[in-house]
Amino acid sequence: MTTTFDTTTLTVTIDGRRIAARTGQTVLEVCRENSIHIPTLCYDPRLKPYGGCRLCIVEIEGLRGYPTSCTTTVADGMVVTTESEALFELRRSVIELLLSDHKVDCLTCQSSGQCGLQDTAYEHAVEMPRFSGELHVEFIESENPLIARDLTKCIMCGRCVRICAEVEGRYVYGFTDRGFDSLPNTPYGVPLHDAYCEFCGQCVSTCPTGALSNKLGKFKGRIWEVEHTETTCGYCGVGCTLDVSTKNGKVIDVTAPLERGVNGGNLCAKGRYGWGYTHSPDRLTTPLVRRDGELVEVTWDEAIAEIAERLTAIRDEHGPESIGGLASAKCTNEENYLFQKVLRAGIGTHNIDHCARL
C-alpha cells in the first residue's frame, strides 16, 4: 500500500521503513521521532549538532563513509541504515577507545544507572576495552558546595562547554591545552566560583557521565531507588517543569525533563538547588493563629476565616484605604489577578504592590 504524505514533508527510508520527515530535520531527529534507536554521547536536543562522539554514525545510500546522523539533514528519497555489522563494530571501537582513558568507578559513581557511556558499553557488549595506555592525571574539584568535577571521567563530548555558551551565555568552560592533554576546563584551571560560574547546574544536567555531578544528592540514593514526581517550580512565575527525586519521603535531587514544559530541561540555580527548605525544621507546614498571646495550629479553613474576619473589621473601622496588599512574583498570573481582584472589588482598595524579584 502506498502512503501519501503531505506536500510539505519529505519521504525517507530508514531500515526499510518509509517515513515522513520535515525539511531541515536531521537523520537523528527523524529516527528519534519514530522510535528508531541510535546511540549518542555528545548529542543534547538543547544544543546545536556537534558530531563529536561519532557514535551516531549511519550508512546512507550514495554517500561515502559513515556520516553522523546528528549533523546530516534528511533529503527526499534518502535511504538510511542505522544497524549493520560494520556500524556495530565501529561504534564498539569508539566506546573501547573512550574507556581506555576513563576512570571506571561505577560502584560509587553518582551517575551509575543513568550514565550514557555505561549504557552504550552495555549495549555493545564491551566488558573490558582492548586498548590501554596513558591515563589522564586525576583532576577533581570539590571547592564549592554544589557541583563536583571529576575530569578523569570526562569523555570530551563538549556538552558542558556548549551549554554554558549556547544556552547560558556564560562561557565558564572552554577546551584547554591540546591533544591528549585537552580538557573542558575553566580559564587557567581556576575553581568554578572564581570563573564567574552562576551554579545553575546546566553543565551537570547535560553531562553524559559522572564527570560532573550534583553534590547535594551524592550517596543519598541510586537512580533505581528513588521516586520521581513531576511538578512546577515555585520560585517565579515562569512555571518551569521539575522532576523531583525523593527517597523515603525526602527530596534528594531536582532535575528537569528534556523537551518538556516551558523550560525544556533547563533550570536556574534556584530551581535546581534551592530545595533545602523543604525539610527545614523552621518551615511552617500548618497555618498558625495567635490566640491568647500564643501561636496555635489551625486548619486552612480556620486561617482563611480568621483573615477575612480581621480584614473586614479593619475596613469597617478605618476604611478600605487602610488596607494594602503585596503580591508575589512566585505566583502565577492568574493567582495575582485574583489577588488584586479581592483587594479592589472585595475590599475596595487600590493599595497594591508586588515583589517582582526572587
Q: Which residues contact 281 (CB under 8 A, 6 or more apart)?
A: none
Write the CATH number for 193.
Answer: 3.30.70.20
pTM: 0.86
Phi, psi at 117, each rounded to 5°:
-70, -40
* Mean pLDDT, range 230-254, rounded to an integer: 93
* Mean pLDDT, range 127-156, rounded to an integer: 86
pLDDT at residue 128 in the model: 80
Which residues sit opposite 140 in a β-bridge? 150
Could you report the per-residue pLDDT of 256-289, keeping only the tens digit for each? 999 999 999 999 999 999 999 999 999 899 999 9
Same domain, 349 and 309: no
pLDDT at residue 138 in the model: 75
Same domain, 249 and 326: no
Same domain, 199 and 236: yes
Same domain, 133 and 274: yes
Q: Mean pLDDT, the chain, as a whole number?
A: 92
Of the two residues 130 and 76, the one the predictor is more confident about is 76
Could you report the per-residue pLDDT of 30-57, keeping only the tens digit for each? 999 999 999 999 999 999 999 999 999 9
Residue 290 lies in a domain: yes
Same domain, 261 and 135: yes
* Mean pLDDT, range 333-354, rounded to an integer: 93
Residue 102 lies in a domain: no
Could you report the per-residue pLDDT of 165-194, keeping only the tens digit for each? 999 999 999 999 988 889 999 999 899 999
Residue 96 lies in a domain: no
Residue 174 lies in a domain: yes
Q: How confident is the model at residue 19 (pLDDT cuts 50, 70, 90)?
A: very high
List the grid coordinates of 305: 476565616
Of the three residues 21, 50, 83, the one that is the final residue of a domain is 83
Q: What residues make up the domain containing 348?
A: 321-358
Residue 346 lies in a domain: yes
Residue 180 lies in a domain: yes
Of the three residues 52, 83, 114, the one that is the final residue of a domain is 83
Residue whose C-alpha cell is 535511504: 79
Q: Which long-range contacts (CB under 8 A, 24 or more apart) does 163-167 make?
A: 163/44, 163/46, 163/47, 163/202, 163/203, 163/205, 163/206, 164/202, 164/203, 166/46, 166/47, 166/48, 167/46, 167/47, 167/202, 167/266
Residue 4 lies in a domain: no
Statement: residue 1 has pLDDT above 50: no
Residue 160 lies in a domain: yes
Same domain, 144 and 230: yes
Could you report the per-residue pLDDT of 77-120, keeping only the tens digit for each? 999 999 999 999 999 999 999 999 898 889 999 999 999 999 99
d(CA 322, CA 351): 9
Same domain, 272 and 304: no
pLDDT at residue 250 in the model: 94
Q: How confident is the model at residue 8 (pLDDT cuts 50, 70, 90)?
A: low
List the grid coordinates of 69: 546522523
Same domain, 13 and 152: no
How many domains does the structure of the chain reveal? 4
Same domain, 151 and 256: yes
Q: Which residues contact 180 (CB under 8 A, 6 or more apart)?
A: 134, 136
Write the CATH number for 24.
Answer: 3.10.20.740
List the grid coordinates of 169: 551565555
Same domain, 302 and 325: no
Same domain, 162 and 238: yes
Same domain, 76 and 190: no
Measure Cα distances from 230 to 135, 259, 331 in Å: 40, 14, 18
List the grid coordinates of 224: 533505581
